[in-house]
Amino acid sequence: GDSVTQMEGPVTLSEEAFLTINCTYTATGYPSLFWYVQYPGEGLQLLLKATKADDKGSNKGFEATYRKETTSFHLEKGSVQVSDSAVYFCAIYNQGGKLIFGQGTELSVKP
């Protein structure tokens, strides 16, 4: 079945470091792709999305590009802040109408 695989965490970075969290998916056709974020003690919230190949989603300095050829949607940020510490989830909305999540990657940013 369709699935999402994320890089293992936790990821620990110093403030202002460059962030990459890898995400690859398995799905038929052209799923929509998402990154959700879960801050400590809060619910999941959408960070960014892309709905077709080569689309770039961006929000709060984070970016991810829909790469159909490599079935990937890697999350990047040029300069992380302590306030970015959270768990990040990659997700796909597949042709069957299901929203499928990866296992999550915990990010910890140190001052």
Binding site residues, other proteins, CB under 8 A: 4, 6, 32, 34, 36, 42-46, 49, 89, 93, 96-104
Q: Would you say 46 or 82 has its CB closer to other proteins?
A: 46
Q: Would you say 53 or 99 has its CB closer to other proteins?
A: 99
Q: Would you say 48 or 80 has its CB closer to other proteins?
A: 48
Q: Would you say 68 or 98 has its CB closer to other proteins?
A: 98
Terminal-to-terminal C-alpha distance of the chain = 41
Q: Is the dihedral of CA 110, 83, 46, 51 positive or negative?
A: negative
20 and 75 Cβ atoms separated by less than 8 Å = yes
Q: What is the C-alpha separation between 76 and 104, in angstroms, rounded?
A: 15
- Shortest distance in whole angstroms from residue 16 CB to other proteins: 28
- Shortest distance in whole angstroms from residue 31 CB to other proteins: 10
- Shortest distance in whole angstroms from residue 89 CB to other proteins: 6
Dihedrals phi, psi of 83, to nearest 5 degrees? -70, -10
Q: Determine if residue 15 is left, alpha or beta; phi over 0 gives left, psi from -120 to 50 gives alpha, anything else beta.
A: beta
- Shortest distance in whole angstroms from residue 46 CB to other proteins: 4
